[in-house]
Structure 1
Amino acid sequence: MVHIPVSEFGERIERLRELMRAADLDACVVYGDEYRRENLRYVSNFWPLFERGALIVPLAGEPVLLAAPEGEMVCREMTAWQDVRVIPDFACVTVPEEIEYPQAHFTTFQKVFDELRQRGPLRKAGLVGADAMSHQVYLTILNSLADCELVDANSMLHEVRLIKSPNEIACLKEAARIADSAYKALMDAAQPGRTELQLAAAAHDAAYGNGAETVPFCLVSSGKRVDTIIGRATNKTVADGDMIMAALSVQYEGYIATINFPFVAGSRSEEQSRFIDLLIEANDIAKSKLKPGGKQADLVKAVKDYFRGQGVDRYDLYPPLHGCGVAEAESPYPNEASTGEFAPGMTVNTDISLFGHPDGSNRIEECFVVTEDGYEPMSALVGQLCGKWTAERGAR
């Protein structure tokens, strides 16, 4: 089974500590919950359900993982760390009431920080995930560090997560393999007379049947609904000639691969075919710029220049590439002014899209790992579909 070994979580913490020392931080608090799980999952392997969690990382010694009462046992089951504590502040995120847990053994942020002060001074601390937590949780952390400067440390985790290890890449490849099988099932189900929800159900069934941890999203829209960009599946019936916009995201061991290929249910018009041609050609252009040392801005500019040349740039709504990993979209997420370069071990998605075009709206998403001499696709299916399409169009 492909997974991230416990030892790798220790290596991640040491890389984080190097950045902490450079920023003169004595500790770092990494927050996460069911909805914004990526940073906490990355440093602890814990993914809260309904509740919240945080890993407190001192400069020395084992980190302290804070969980909530109902999720304590699954936290201990999942996490790479031994020191797990329970605090009331992290109980169910969806209700305003204070829930009683008479059998819970609670601690507090204040007690944990006081304990850390016995190991060494606590003058300046970083906080990862302030943008995701509730105001009340933020105030509790802030008040518990009244004599300590608290600074935003989100950039540290983005930097640590940027280059993937062989184990991370293996997990992403497995997520992509599962996504491929599920997308095939969705395309097979996309027959006139079926509903969008039935297409999504086919994808979910195949994804879980092939080992998905979860399906973060399965976007399905058809006909004029493709203009919704990120439309959820509905009871709308797919008609003959409807363009289908289906983006499928699959999570495996915390790692997320997303794929999307534009297609039409039943008979396809020449106008729809030319529209799909545009996306495939732009995706090929993007891939030609994907190489170690290549400027990320050059990839963005090449795609946008192509769309400008084809007179469709007004339908191009956002940059054509983003990173992937423990989040569906993560760094790098470049634009034409970005200064970053591609490096071996980066994992990215091309995200080539046109929305509001008279002949349809859609995108191509294909996931890659940057290698020493170019790139390697993680999804086999999208490349196969693009190649088959190009061959069939060229034969006409």
Structure 2
Amino acid sequence: MIKIPKAEFAARIEKLKALMRENDMQACLIYGDEYRKENLRYMSNYWPLFERGAVMVSMTGEPFVIAAPEGEMFCREMSAWPDVRLLPEFACVTVPDKIEYPQAHYTSLTEICKGLQESGPLQRLGIVGIDAMPEPLMKIIGDSFAGIELVDAGELLFQLRMTKTANEVACLQEAARIADAGYKLMIEQVKPGMTELELASLAYGECIRQGAENVPFCLLTSGDRVNTIIGRASGKVIEDGDMIMAAIAVQVEGYVATLNFPFVAGQMREEQKKFIDILVEAEDAALSRIKAGAGQSEVVRAVKACFKDRNVTEYDLYPPLHGCGLAEAESPYPDENTEAKFVAGMTVNTDVSLFGHPHGSNRIEESLLVTEDGYESMSKLVRHLSRTWKETATISVD
């Protein structure tokens, strides 16, 4: 079974401590919840279920995890760190009511602050996840750590998460394999008369059967609904000749791989073929610019140049590349002016798209590993679909 080993979490902590030392931070609190899990899971493996969580890292001793009482056992089951402490402020995120847990053994942020100070002066506390944290909770932290400078430490986790280890890549590759299986089933079984929900359910079910930890989304629209850019499957009946825009994201051990390739229910029209041709050509242009040391802006420029040559610039709505990992979309998200370069070990998604075009809206998306010589696609299906399209102008999974 693919997992991130305990030793790798320990290595992450040591790397974070080195960055904390450089930034004169004596401790760092990494916040997360069900909806913004990435940094918390990266440092602790804990992914809260409708509650809040955090991991506290100090310059001395092992980290400890902060959780809520209902999810305590779940936290202990997942966490890379055995020390788990409970806070009432971390209970269910969706209700304003105060929930009583009579058997919970709570600590407090004030007690946590005192404990940290026992091992030395605490002058600066880094906080990761300020952008995801509710304002009342941030105020409680400020009051509990009165007299201590609170600083946004989000950039530290950005640095740590930018490149991936072999274990992280293995998780993404497994997620891509599962996503391929779900998407392949949709292409094989799509037919006029079924609803979008029926089609999406095939992918959801297959991905869970294949071992997905979670399916963060399966976007699916058809016919005129493809112009919504992103959309959930609905009860709309798919008609003959409807273009399908489906994007499926699969999560394995926290890591999310995504794929999208246009296909049509029933008979494909010539103008739809020409539209898909443009996307395949632009995707190839993007891929040809990806390798360690190359400028990320070159990918954006190459796609824009391709769209300009095909007179479709007005339908190009956003940059064609973004990072992937513990979030479906994470940094980097380059535009044509960025000076950043690709680094071996980065993982990114192409997201080559046109929206509002008279003959359809769609995208081609796949998760990639940046290498010294170029890239490795994690989706065998997207590579197969692209290759067979260029050879036969058909969508074939055989």
What TM-score, normalized to structure 1?
A: 0.98
Matching residue of 1:80: 80
Kindly indicate whether the alpha-carbon contact (under 8 Å) linking 1:173 and 1:378 is maintained by their aligned counterparts in 2: yes
Kindly indicate whether the alpha-carbon contact (under 8 Å) linking 1:346 and 1:369 is maintained by their aligned counterparts in 2: yes
* Secondary structure of 1:277 counterpart: helix
Matching residue of 1:113: 113
C-alpha distance in 2, partners of 1:354/1:60? Answer: 51
Cα deviation for residue 96 of structure 1 reads 0.4
Matching residue of 2:328: 328
C-alpha distance in 2, partners of 1:190/1:108? Answer: 54
C-alpha distance in 1, partners of 2:355/2:94? Answer: 34
* Secondary structure of 2:155 counterpart: helix
* Secondary structure of 2:30 counterpart: strand
1:311-360 deviations in Å (ceiling 9; x for gaps):
21111111100111011111111111111111111111100000011110
Kindly indicate whether the alpha-carbon contact (under 8 Å) linking 1:189 and 1:198 is maintained by their aligned counterparts in 2: no
The question of 1:318 aligning with 2:288 is answered no
Matching residue of 2:303: 303
Matching residue of 1:129: 129
Identity of aligned residues (%): 59
The question of 1:15 aligning with 2:20 is answered no
Moved more, 321-330 or 186-195: 186-195
Kindly indicate whether the alpha-carbon contact (under 8 Å) linking 1:30 and 1:39 is maintained by their aligned counterparts in 2: yes
Whichever residue aligns with residue 367 of structure 1, its letter is S
User: What is the number of residues matched between the two proteins?
Assistant: 394
Matching residue of 2:43: 43
Kindly indicate whether the alpha-carbon contact (under 8 Å) linking 1:227 and 1:361 is maintained by their aligned counterparts in 2: yes
Matching residue of 1:24: 24
C-alpha distance in 2, partners of 1:26/1:67? Answer: 22
Matching residue of 2:359: 359
Structure 1 unaligned blocks of 5 or more: none
Matching residue of 2:57: 57
The question of 1:170 aligning with 2:166 is answered no
C-alpha distance in 1, partners of 2:301/2:214? Answer: 34
Cα deviation for residue 188 of structure 1 reads 2.2
C-alpha distance in 2, partners of 1:111/1:231? Answer: 46
The question of 1:390 aligning with 2:390 is answered yes
* Secondary structure of 1:71 counterpart: helix
What TM-score, normalized to structure 2?
A: 0.98
Structure 2 unaligned blocks of 5 or more: none
Whichever residue aligns with residue 249 of structure 1, its letter is A
Write out aligned runs for 1:1-396 (5 A).
1-393=1-393
Cα deviation for residue 26 of structure 1 reads 1.1
* Secondary structure of 2:237 counterpart: coil
C-alpha distance in 2, partners of 1:308/1:156? Answer: 38
C-alpha distance in 2, partners of 1:25/1:283? Answer: 43
C-alpha distance in 2, partners of 1:15/1:315? Answer: 43
Kindly indicate whether the alpha-carbon contact (under 8 Å) linking 1:323 and 1:348 is maintained by their aligned counterparts in 2: yes
C-alpha distance in 1, partners of 2:34/2:278? Answer: 37
Cα deviation for residue 67 of structure 1 reads 0.3
Cα deviation for residue 189 of structure 1 reads 2.8
Whichever residue aligns with residue 230 of structure 1, its letter is I
* Secondary structure of 1:233 counterpart: coil
* Secondary structure of 2:211 counterpart: coil
Moved more, 11-20 or 357-366: 11-20
* Secondary structure of 1:191 counterpart: coil
Cα deviation for residue 393 of structure 1 reads 3.2
1:274-311 deviations in Å (ceiling 9; x for gaps):
11111100000000000110000111111112112222
1:15-58 deviations in Å (ceiling 9; x for gaps):
11111111111111100000111110110000000100001111
* Secondary structure of 2:244 counterpart: strand
* Secondary structure of 2:69 counterpart: coil
Whichever residue aligns with residue 289 of structure 1, its letter is R
Whichever residue aligns with residue 286 of structure 1, its letter is A
Whichever residue aligns with residue 171 of structure 2, its letter is C
C-alpha distance in 2, partners of 1:109/1:97? Answer: 20
C-alpha distance in 2, partners of 1:120/1:183? Answer: 54
Kindly indicate whether the alpha-carbon contact (under 8 Å) linking 1:292 and 1:372 is maintained by their aligned counterparts in 2: yes
Cα deviation for residue 146 of structure 1 reads 1.2
Moved more, 216-225 or 335-344: 335-344
C-alpha distance in 2, partners of 1:77/1:373? Answer: 40
1:197-235 deviations in Å (ceiling 9; x for gaps):
011100010000000001000000000000111110000
C-alpha distance in 1, partners of 2:57/2:333? Answer: 27
RMSD: 0.9
